Amino acid sequence: MSKQISTYDDIVGSGIKIMLRDIFYDEHEKFSYVPWQYSRIFVRGEVVDIEKYVLKMNTSLGYYLSEDFIDVIYWTEKVSSYKYFYFTNMCSQKIFLIIPLEKDSPLRNTFDDLIFRSWSAGLIEKWKSDFVYESIEAGLLQIGFNSESALLRLTWEDLRYGWYAYLFGISISIVIFVLEYLMILPRIKYFLKK
């Protein structure tokens, strides 16, 4: 298993390019959010490209994703029981969706209550999981299968603690057998003499 990426140096060392949406790529070039020595790791991608690559679970690139895509990837990995991507704290962004209301709108409390109740009832999480399941059924999301065998050859290192427990158990058994033999042997000799 390769080392997980947690810093920009790790990204440079891995040789993986990070695909940014065109808007974020332009902002990155304009404002230099990342130090200049790391700017070569970023690749420009249209929204369609990112959707195509991410939804096909293409791991040849890294992605700078918004939270909605991160949720899709999370639920997809949960469904497939195979981890495709590693999420770092440096490659995510929060996008808040808002409904603008007039000042002192009578709907504000109603919307707040609706959002709070939907969240606490688990409807938001249910919606996300249903989105992923239905996308898989429709063929929009494609989950590849891991070609590695589930059966792996076990080595001494894998079974080390099992062997230690076995040897400890055998040792205790031998000690108890010897103690019982030494304690019971005089009694047996006593009864045989009678």
Task: Spell out the domain ranges in the chain.
Answer: 8-138, 154-194
Write the CA distances from 147 to 2, 82, 84, 135, 173, integer angstroms. Answer: 17, 11, 13, 23, 44
Q: Which residue from 47, 78, 68 is spatially nearest to 143, judged by alpha carbons?
A: 78
Q: What helix, strand, coil percent values describe the chain, rounded to 5?
A: 55, 5, 35
**pLDDT, the chain, mean:** 77
pTM above 0.85, yes or no: no
pLDDT tens-digit map of 35-81: 777 778 888 877 677 777 777 777 778 777 777 677 777 777 776 76
| Residue 154 CB contacts under 8 Å (≥ 6 apart), including other chains | none
Write the CA distances from 14 to 2, 11, 18, 38, 87, integer angstroms. Answer: 9, 5, 11, 13, 15
DSSP state of 159: T
pLDDT tens-digit map of 114-129: 888 888 898 878 887 7
